[in-house]
Chains A and B, each alone.
Chain A
Amino acid sequence: MSPALALENIDCTFLSRDDLSQRYTAVRNTTLVVGEGEFVSVVGPTGCGKTTLLNVAAGLLAPSAGEVKIFGSLLAGINTHAGYMFQSEALMPWRNSIENVVAGLEFRRVPRSEALEQGNEWLKRVGLSGFGGRYPHQLSGGMRKRVALAQMFILKPQILLMDEPFSALDVQTRQLMENELLDLWSADRKSVVFITHDLEEAISLADRVVVLSAGPASHPIGDYAIDLPRPRDVAEIRLAPRFNEIHARIWRAMKEEVLKGYAQQQRQ
């Protein structure tokens, strides 16, 4: 059986628009395979091309070389099997919560009453029933993320692509959202690629953690299975001894890359 998502030997080189001799290779020769129902976290120092990789998987960005396969078939254009949760605000500010949640159904021409019914159901599931009429600017950061979660889950994507979705939230809200994500995910295990720079977040959520090297030309340098039991509570699991063992092991491998990435930023 083919994996849900397979990135094979991906290269991504950006050309400067003004000077074609200026090129930046964000990702080089990267292979990442995500099985069906598998939760994979990708960690790496800032600026290592994590988002680039996710955009390639989403079909928003065509790789310079390599292939993207979704359930075995070659990806061309937007990945219609995937839902994407962005790092920054991605809700349409001119639509209120319920209209944002049902946007995907509207694009698919689902009848209005059916879409609203599903939309309200999802708002309830993310704990926002009664907030359907609020516009994004009237919601808190955490609430906006909940709307974004509902907006993604309502389309029942088989692959979830998440780009540091909770990095802008405070620690408490963040843990709440992480637990909520695990709840929603465990209901009908989708494949997840969860990008983060926070190793603790990566370990507490995922089945597998992939470590990327510092950019440019970043590539995976480690792949660790996380054998922590589920269901998990992200706040409590961090206190488990096994968690600390895994954390120490991955951190040893990551540390050097983080320092490299830091040095690179200093030079710029």
Chain B
Amino acid sequence: MPSSKDNRERKGPLRIVAKGGNGKLRLRIYQVLVLALFIVLWHVLTSPTLLPPIYFSEASHAAFFFGEPLQVLGRLWRWFATGEIYEHLWVTLVETMLSFFIGTVFGVAFGLWLALSPTASAILDPYIKAINAMPRVILAPIFFVWFGLGIASKVALGVSLVFFIVFFNVYQGVREVSPVVLANARMLGASPRQLLRYVYVPSAMSWVFASLHNSVGLAFVGAVVGEYLGSAKGVGYLIHQAEGFFDMNTVVAGILLLTVFALLLDWIVGVAEKRLMVWQPRSVETERT
């Protein structure tokens, strides 16, 4: 919370920040330019009428393999205009959120437990390594047998992916608690339970948030791969169906839609992180010593 007095005292850094603000705007412009350039190139190279075919024997082949940006946009527009996408998007998002939350809760609980009981962690260590090394996507068929083709099997797949990321981070986070802070809390009279609540958990939180950014992406992977392998609803199902008809535009539209929502969820995690982790030094804030 820099007061006006602090601002006056720190003229130097402020000037740099102002310059940095300009640079940031320029950076954004370049970033948008890259995207625009990519779309233009994509459009020019795939449009059957603009250029004579460079690589393919027929003009329409490029569009067949890579889709066309305008068609993709049109597909997205029709999805939302007719409302047919909502049902599928809803299913995918529910699956993603459920796997994200269940995986995170289990990961945190299990990570805390194992980090704080050395015996259990010593016994389970090889098995945890084995399960983590296993390519867990191949569990999908088993989950289909157990939970059917509905939402549950996709959630199970997503949870199996998210759980380990969060688990390992919490485990690490608890191990990295400063021994001095811990000893100090003990000297101040904290019981083992209070140590858990007031020292271990807050200290592990920064690691948890770092892992949540990865987890959001993996929760989507679980949902979409699950739908792709067997379902009747969801964006993954739409993509799978479109592939059956070689409808590349719909496939690309589905991918774009998923990307946007993954970014959105990641942004929400970022906002939560900023709110909950106010105690962490930020790079913009110079440390006063």
Contact = CB atoms under 8 A, between A and B. Distances in A.
Interface of A: 58, 60, 78-80, 82-84, 86, 88-96, 103-104, 106-108, 133, 135-141, 151, 155
A52 to B, nearest CB: 13
A65 B63 CA distance: 82
Contact of B180 (A78, A86, A106, A140): A86
Q: Which of B184, B198, B205, B288 has the most CB of A within 10 A?
A: B184
B289 A83 contact: no
Q: How large is the interface on B (under 10, 10 to 19, 20 to 34, 35 or more residues)?
A: 20 to 34
B35 interface: no
Interface string B177-210: 0101101111111110010001100110100000
B183 A93 contact: no
Contacts of B288: 138-140
B279 A103 contact: no
B1 A90 contact: no
7 contacts: A60-B183, A84-B183, A86-B184, A92-B185, A103-B188, A137-B280, A140-B288
Contact of A103 (B183, B191, B198, B280): B198
A107 B191 contact: yes
B287 A84 contact: no
Given A88-B180, A95-B279, A137-B287, A82 B187 contact: yes
Given A79-B187, A86-B183, A106-B198, 6 more contacts: A58-B187, A90-B180, A90-B181, A92-B202, A96-B279, A141-B289
A155 B189 contact: yes
A129 B281 CA distance: 22
B184 A107 contact: no
Top 9 nearest A-B pairs (CB, nearest first) are A90-B184, A104-B188, A84-B187, A137-B281, A94-B202, A94-B279, A107-B189, A135-B279, A107-B190
B278 interface: yes
Contact of B189 (A96, A104, A133, A136): A104
Nearest to B205: A94
A106 B185 CA distance: 11
A108 B189 CA distance: 7
Contacts of A151: 188
Nearest to B287: A137
A86 B185 CA distance: 11
A103 B184 CA distance: 10
A244 to B, nearest CB: 34
Given A78-B187, A82-B187, A93 B279 contact: yes
A94 B178 CA distance: 12
Contact of B203 (A58, A83, A94, A103): A94
B234 to A, nearest CB: 39
A90 B287 contact: no
B202 A84 contact: no
B281 A89 contact: no
B249 to A, nearest CB: 49
A19 to B, nearest CB: 19
Q: Which of A84, A92, A104 has the most CB of B within 10 A?
A: A92
A83 B199 CA distance: 18
A83 B281 contact: no
A140 B187 contact: no
Contact of A107 (B183, B194, B287): B194
Interface string B191-233: 1001000110011010000000000000000000000000000
A161 to B, nearest CB: 8
Given A94-B279, A133-B1, A83 B185 contact: no
A139 B186 CA distance: 23
